[in-house]
Structure 1
Amino acid sequence: MAFVECPHPLGMIPLNEIRAKADLIFPDILRMATKWQPAQSAKVELKRPYPAEHIKFKGTYSALNKMLYDKKMSLGLPVIPPTPEAVAAMLKGTKHNPGEVVWVVPPRQAQLTVELVATLGAMSGCKPSHMPLLLAMVKALSQPDYDFRGNITTTAPTSPVIVINGPIVKKLGISHSTALLGQRQPVNIALGYFVDLLAYVVGGAAPPDVDKSTQGSRGDLVALVLGENEAENPWKESYAVEHGFKSTDNVVTAYGAYLGTNNTDHTSVKGKDLLNTLAAASAGTSAGISSCLTKYDQPFNWQNAVKFTFFFLGPEHAQTIARDFPTKRAAEEYLVKQTKLPMWGYAPTQCALPAGFGPWDENTMVQRFTTPEQIHVVVTGGPGKQSQVWPAFVTDMKPVHVVVED
């Protein structure tokens, strides 16, 4: 392919500087367009994806981890050695053929086999009983509505978020109560670590050449994996059931998120007051990219950027809201009305007001959402007056739901 490099950046600079950069590279563009020819490259022999290559290594655990890191087979955190015995044990957790290719993973377009899923699972600390869940997570991340390539190559500090519903939460010990996204949560951490190993080792999302995250986040090491606290949900109907699944189904929901924000509200007694503080938190989260009056079902463009937001409500906050809003839908409709910013709070050109909106100035309050379908409420966590708000990545169209195979 022919490439012409343009000096970075082209965004957030005056027009005359943009023109100067364009003038600078135009001769190269013209030359590439009229004279460039592809080089005659040597024939490349492609390796079969299965069986995986084996490496013989003798040395300490520390030396092994260094070797894997040097070969770009780990993120820098220690991994559990993926010995043939460990991988074989993982494969006992599924009936799928080890050589089955379950995904061609972007951006490197590398083939992910069931054997390699088992390998990465072993490295991250997963168990054989986790294999059906790992395969369901892979299926969710590979769907078009989840922009996997965009999430792992963007300049934004995005993180995969995976919500798990159903009997599998208790069966596998997936944390859904106190500190579920924190320390001493071995299953959640192992599942999250698997996701990031997948993105880096298979997808090739290595900074700075592929992963362009300006600052990054801890989600680049261990993705967010959480179970819903269904027993503490005051609306009774779980998030998965709300979206058409049976209570006996084990369901994985995946989306890519910008860094979230925490809502610490210890004083609201009325549900309306608590929803007001949550709306304020949502309005301000990733406001630079989030457009106003977003259309849920429109194709992507910069004028309808963030399509949906997840509200992870602590059980105590959920109970406060439910006393005044007996249905989750009513609470979501209230959030749609209250989640707004003045026009000066939106980045220039991000808020394209529809025709007929009426007169406005920089202080006019404008809603960020238009429909309750853009609001996703999950009850999770333990005691305490805390909740979190995690808005979706700009090119994720909607959350992806996948049923875990029995």
Structure 2
Amino acid sequence: MPESHELNALDDMTEVMELLFESGWTDGLPVIPPTPRNVQRMLTGTTRAADELIGRIPPKGGRATVEKIAINAVMAGCKPAYLPVVIAAVEALLDDRCNTRGVQCSTHIASPLVIVNGPIVQELGLNSGHNVFGQGWRANATIGRAVKLVLVNLGGATPGVIDKATFGHPGKFTYCIAENEAANPWEPLHVERGFAPTDSTVTVFGAEAPHNINNHWSATPHGLLRTIADAMSTLGSNHLYLGGESFLVLGPEHADVLAKAGWTKRDVRAFLFEHARKPLAQAKIGGMYGPETRRNLWPRWLDHDDEQQGIPIARRADDIAILVAGGAGRHSVYLPGWGARSATRKIER
């Protein structure tokens, strides 16, 4: 990446954007030039030193200092107040459980999703309701974009070079949501993970694009969750073969059906763990590992002779993470992962 002072020699914004694009430092969309003035303004959003090293971004190991992260936040169009969220997301991605190196290099479709919880959601105007995965909110759009630019510019995830995704998905431009805590009948994600309700946090997770789940009629948990379990358990899912964590984003109306019937998140997880399964016979002919179940690639706990045995999409119920987001409408969203896990970090100003 260029040093911000190097851009002062160029005459206009168009010239700067062309230089950045031709150098491979953008996502293909126009960017805000990271001039010294713009970067210094961005750094006012944090009390952390500009030269503080947050870590090295895999796979190339670029140095993610606070200043380098700020440069990418400028390019993405962030306000200075967004910078602590971007920094926390980068910190979380450096957790080994996320396997960011694998997500960056895989042929799989996954891209890191940023999930924000806590009071900062309202402070920054992050969207947690209608069209939560869509356009229209600057905070969601630019925070997610800044994280992706860090992964490309410091981690080296250039498409076709390091990033070998067969397809990719639009979340590789930006992928950031907030949990709809006001509509959540249970404790929010960050509280479930040991943080205080007054803490603001970021959770990152290498996720596929959202898989929509329709159920407009079921008035009981069993009817609703059978629909969700069926949508989650497909022969093409990584989770059937690799395990790892996945996320279920319940729409507020679906969450309300479950909570009013007295169901907890633990109840929902237990039901989905038991019912989101595929028979071994189907997996042997339609999935990832082939018919020879005694190869080391298959889970060792399988009864290789029981072809009707149901293979769960998670190795344990707690690997199904649940949050509530979105607006009105009887929809939920399933987010399969790459086979890795999520990580949560507190946002430090």
CA distance 1:214–1:358, shift in 2 (3 Å): closer
Q: Secondary structure at the match of 2:190?
A: helix
Q: Across the two proteins, how many residue pairs are aligned to each other?
A: 339
Aligned residue type for 1:365: G
TM-score, reference length from structure 1? 0.79
TM-score, reference length from structure 2? 0.91
Rounded to whole Å, the distance in 2 between the matches of 1:334 and 1:124 is 41
- Given the alignment of the two structures, is residue 243 of structure 1 paired with residue 193 of structure 2, yes or no? yes
Rounded to whole Å, the distance in 1 between the matches of 2:179 and 2:20 is 35
Alignment of 1:115-126 (within 5 A): 115-126=67-78
Rounded to whole Å, the distance in 1 between the matches of 2:180 and 2:45 is 26
Q: Secondary structure at the match of 2:34?
A: coil
Out of 109, 117, 121, the position equivalent to 1:169 is 121
Contact 1:81-1:123 at 8 Å conserved across structures: yes
Contact 1:52-1:116 at 8 Å conserved across structures: no
Aligned residue type for 1:192: G
- Tell me what 2:333 maps to: 388
Rounded to whole Å, the distance in 1 between the matches of 2:309 and 2:95 is 38
Out of 45, 48, 54, the position equivalent to 1:102 is 54
Q: CA deviation at 1:59?
A: 4.3
Rounded to whole Å, the distance in 1 between the matches of 2:316 and 2:336 is 15
Aligned residue type for 2:310: M
Aligned residue type for 1:217: H
Q: Secondary structure at the match of 1:56?
A: helix
Contact 2:8-2:35 at 8 Å conserved across structures: no
CA distance 1:360–1:311, shift in 2 (3 Å): same
Q: CA deviation at 1:179?
A: 0.5
Q: Secondary structure at the match of 1:402?
A: strand
| Deviation string, structure 1 residues 112-135 (Cα, Å, up to 9, x no partner) | 211111111111111111122121
Q: CA deviation at 1:64?
A: 2.5
- Tell me what 2:342 maps to: 399
Identity %: 32
Rounded to whole Å, the distance in 2 between the matches of 1:405 and 1:173 is 18
Aligned residue type for 1:379: V
CA RMSD after TM alignment:
2.1
Aligned residue type for 2:165: S
Alignment of 1:268-279 (within 5 A): 268-279=218-229
| Deviation string, structure 1 residues 137-195 (Cα, Å, up to 9, x no partner) | 11101111111111111101111011111101101111100001101121101011101
CA distance 1:385–1:53, shift in 2 (3 Å): same
Alignment of 1:352-371 (within 5 A): 352=299, 354=301, 357=303, 359-361=305-307, 363-371=308-316
Out of 234, 242, 259, the position equivalent to 2:185 is 234
Q: CA deviation at 1:370?
A: 4.5
Rounded to whole Å, the distance in 1 between the matches of 2:344 and 2:89 is 9
5+ residue gaps, structure 1, are 1-48, 293-304
Alignment of 1:5-404 (within 5 A): 54-222=6-174, 224-235=175-186, 237-284=187-234, 286-287=236-237, 289-291=238-240, 305-346=242-283, 347=287, 348=290, 349=293, 351-352=298-299, 354=301, 357=303, 359-361=305-307, 363-394=308-339, 396=340, 398-404=341-347
Rounded to whole Å, the distance in 2 between the matches of 1:228 and 1:136 is 17
5+ residue gaps, structure 2, are none
Rounded to whole Å, the distance in 1 between the matches of 2:145 and 2:9 is 24
Rounded to whole Å, the distance in 2 between the matches of 1:66 and 1:306 is 43
- Tell me what 1:37 maps to: none
Aligned residue type for 1:368: I
Q: Secondary structure at the match of 1:401?
A: strand
Q: Secondary structure at the match of 1:253?
A: strand
Q: Secondary structure at the match of 1:129?
A: helix
Contact 2:240-2:312 at 8 Å conserved across structures: no
Structure number with greater CO (CA < 8 Å, separation at least 6) is 2
